[in-house]
Chain A
Amino acid sequence: MSETLTSVREDETAPEPPLPRDSIGKTVVTTLDECVVEIVSDSGEGAQRCGQSLGAIAARMGNGVWTVEIIPAEIQPPARSIAGASGNRIRLGAKRIANGGDGVDVVVAFNEQVLLGRVRSGELKPGCTIFLESKWRTHGDPRIAAAYRETYEELVELGYLVIEVPFEALCKPIVPDPRRGKNMFVLGLLCSLFSFDLKLAREQVRLTFRKKSDTVVRSNLALLEAGAAWAEGNLDVKYRIPASRAKEPQIVVNGNTSIALGVLASGMEICAMYPITPATSASHYLSEVFERVGGIVHQAEDEIAACTFAIGASYAGKCAVTITSGPGYSLKQEAIGLAVMCEIPLVVVNVQRGGPSTGQPTKGEQGDLLTTIYGSHGDAPKVVMAASTIEDCFYSVITARKIAEAFNMVVVVLSDSNLATSQQPFPRPKFDEAWLAPPIDQSPVPFGTKPYDWNPDTGLIRRIVPGQPNGMHTITGLAHDRDGRVAYDPVINQESIRARSLKLASLQKTLKPPPVFGDPEGDLLIVGWGSTRGAIEEAVTRARDEGLKASSTHLHFLQPLQPGIKEIMQRFKQVLCVEQNWCDRPDDMMIDENNRRYSALAMMLRSRFLVDIDCWGEVMGQPIKPGTIHDLIRARLA
């Protein structure tokens, strides 16, 4: 390695390394409250790794961080295509950050086409700083060179500050394939730009490449240093985002990894799944680590098999989880009904994506709420929870298993593609043995114990597991009596449906009202669920800072609903559901009071509480921006 470095340094053809400049006094250090950075490239150029590393370094610095993956729908989209942008958005802040923010302040782009994609979709703030790979300007193909120049002109025209950087040329002296190395160069550049501690950056690089050889680690460190040095020498701006380091250890993972860690921690032993975007990465990570703690990830032959496999395992005593996304969830519906009917505890994770049908596999949406609550034919009551943060993803699995086993119910945990791929630090969980309890119990049951001895008040039953002496019985998806025998008696049918329904009410009695973010009363209450929480609360904060009387509440339990929601709503003049699913726009010509379709949660709340709840939603495939909601609040309260 050192040999290569020496020999390359002597290579006269390499561009001059930037000379140290006496920039003290010339570099302006601007203090920012927050900043949104994006790194975009073709697939395989390491932009995602660069962004994740930057986020992790910022978290180490003590900054608030939220990272969002920019993922093309195809595995290998054509190079230099507008729709092929791959990379990462990193929102850095002085305080805790809970969403990806509004517009981008700084972009690093490895080609102008992928950048154009971001510009066209309105992601860039006016005046945004752009670092653009300049090698295309002199590309051998005149069409490419022309396209580059044309775009460059356009960007300058639009008022962006475009800084052309020959990234690959600068990396060439350090690594043989600069296409793959420039991401760490950029990381160094950005660390310098944001005045990050290079020591932390080095540690992060070592961690990132811990599975690679020493040579790889060393060359990446060299790239990092070179990037930082280049920035020191060539830029006359620097930012500083005040940070306060957490007192407790934090973990930085995305929502899917968080779910997988939650599965580890929950004491479950079996995860049955079938590949589906965007849920699969949770199973990928779980497959890597589950066996080490005695767990098994079973990739079944289809979604139905995955679900029924999990049901079989749960029936046999080991509550199992199946992780899926919308289309898979639809396929599982019949089996979920079976678990409901047989009162088998089961955890289902639905990482929602755009729908209907195949919809938008890599994009987020909150479109599955009603199908999870009301799906499967007949009256099939099940518990539905939603994670609203990365941390929620972890604990929701533990909670879900507990409820599933205590109530012998199906518990669906809703996440979505926004949470799945976003990273945010949260306090490192402190393991508790109680998470794993109760273990499987093979103690004999007293003679005469009935498998469906519904408690008349609560609807609860005591679970009997195969292997328990004296407990033999057959469970069935057919209507059945307290012994589990097929019931031909209409009264028994009604009694059993009542009991299964009653369990939801029982669970509801153990829940507390949702907290209100902001004042407990005012002019406008925004109600949300799931991944929109960060954006809603940020928008509410902005509005309140302007003196508007807006508050919000966020629901973790969608079925049963937490108590006290009606009382909360009644303390506000207006109630607005903000969701990332479709609701008709009242100003559309065809839409009126009689035909307007409300967003999912609004529909539920309206029907339950007879309160005139309005709704707003969009299905753009990307997280709703705080600014959008802020505008919404202002429009309502102006």
Chain B
Amino acid sequence: MSAPMHDCLIRMVEDEHPLEDYQSGVPRWCSGCGDNAVLAAVQRLCRDENLRPEKLAFVSGIGCASRFPHYMRTYGFHGIHGRALPIAEGVKMARPDLHVFVNTGDGDCCSIGAAHWLHAIRYNMNMTVVLHDNHVYGLTKMQVSPTSPKGLRSNTTPHGSYLDALNPLTVTLGVTNVSFVAQAVDWIPEVVHAVIQAAFHHKGFSFVRIIQRCPEFLPKMWEPWLHDPQKTLLLEHQDGIGYSAGLQKIYKNRQAHDPADIHKAREIASCIDPIPVGILYRDDSVPCYEDIREAGKPRPIEMVRSGLEAELDKFTVWPDAADAGAPTP
């Protein structure tokens, strides 16, 4: 009963999808942009899991990263600034059978959409959320973002930005019902792929922050980290992600971390240098809002009819009190 019996029948008509089957159009991101790495990782995930393109919905807001859905040959919804999460929640609530992904940037998620972000964590709906964090507004041409480092000279802070950066990981880990938090850097594609894969398999709101370089506006920001492997900290655990031998050869700075430990996760999350990558936190026991609300429950016409009639009964004045149909309290 557990195995959908038609799987084998579907396989009869369908070869596995190569990567190109998930590709639509030519990305118009700048060359060298980290969004490309995420796109490749997500497409690999789709191929590896043999996900059916029509069952995927990519939802985004506004910003460079939010162009993401346009480059996937799946269903996509490129929405308005900051509102990707509530749109995605609506999609998931209406259609729990769809795999929902959200691509959002640091401005989209942490600034204009910050309220939705907090509540989305609380709803814990089953979706994979990728925060493409390049620490700057790109599409609107170089303004400071909530995650920009203090002192950043941008078009709105020509004398350097005034505030310390917001840390999306500690914020997420501080919200009730948080169930999955991971981080990767765009320059280690293997980790990007591994955390997105783990996020996809987690049932709940899977929050993945990708630290990205903006080749146009912040080309040098992550140079030290690119050149010094010691400045990246690989989190390892049997419940975490694995690293190839090749990667372990380069990145020797590793730390055991049990993703079930939220206190440790918060401690690690607050570390900015070295950058921790891998799974910081995972709790499979948090219920999903769409399950609590029994979304997708079959809804026969009879159910609606009888429900409506029962309600109408409550308010009905019958032509004659002796009428058989009159409600008797």
Contact = CB atoms under 8 A, between A and B. Distances in A.
B256 interface: no
B308 A431 contact: yes
A253 B313 CA distance: 11
A485 B87 contact: no
B181 to A, nearest CB: 20
Interface string B85-97: 0111111111101
Contact of B83 (A251, A335, A472): A335
A251 B323 CA distance: 15
Contacts of B301: 433, 436
Given A474-B77, A475-B76, A467 B97 contact: yes
Interface of B: 24-25, 52-55, 57-59, 69-70, 72-80, 83, 86-95, 97-98, 115-116, 118-119, 293-295, 297-299, 301, 303-305, 307-312, 315-321, 323, 325, 327, 329
B312 A269 contact: no
Given A292-B307, A305-B119, A257 B312 contact: no
A267 B304 contact: yes
A312 B91 contact: yes
A523 interface: no
Interface in A470-519: 470-478, 485-486
A473 B118 CA distance: 29
B188 to A, nearest CB: 28
Given A293-B304, A485-B70, A312 B90 contact: yes
B150 to A, nearest CB: 29
A35 interface: no
A313 interface: yes
A261 B58 contact: no
B312 A251 contact: yes
B90 A272 contact: yes
A474 B307 contact: no
A294 interface: yes
A296 B93 contact: yes
Interface of A: 56, 59-60, 199-200, 203, 206-207, 209-210, 245-253, 257, 261, 264-265, 267, 269-270, 272, 289, 291-294, 296, 298, 300-302, 304-306, 308-318, 320, 334-335, 338, 342, 425, 428-429, 431, 433, 436, 466-478, 485-486
Nearest to A469: B54
Given A306-B86, A312-B77, 11 more contacts: A207-B329, A249-B325, A252-B317, A261-B311, A298-B89, A304-B83, A309-B86, A312-B87, A316-B90, A466-B57, A467-B97
A466 B91 contact: yes
B299 A467 contact: no
Contact of A475 (B72, B77, B312, B315): B77
B80 A335 contact: yes
A596 B119 CA distance: 47
A622 B14 CA distance: 65
Contacts of A206: 329
A320 B93 CA distance: 11
Contacts of A59: 317
A245 B320 contact: yes
Interface of B is mostly: mixed
Nearest to A309: B90
B325 to A, nearest CB: 7
Contacts of B88: 312
Contacts of A300: 86, 119
B155 to A, nearest CB: 23
A429 B294 CA distance: 29
A305 B116 contact: yes
Interface centre among B73, B86, B317 (most CB of A within 10 A): B317
B321 A203 contact: yes
Contacts of A433: 301, 305
Contacts of A342: 77
A249 B118 CA distance: 49
Contacts of A269: 94, 299
Nearest to A476: B78
A247 B321 CA distance: 12
A308 B74 CA distance: 21
- 3 A-B pairs with the lowest CB-CB distances in the bound complex, closest first: A312-B90, A474-B76, A294-B299
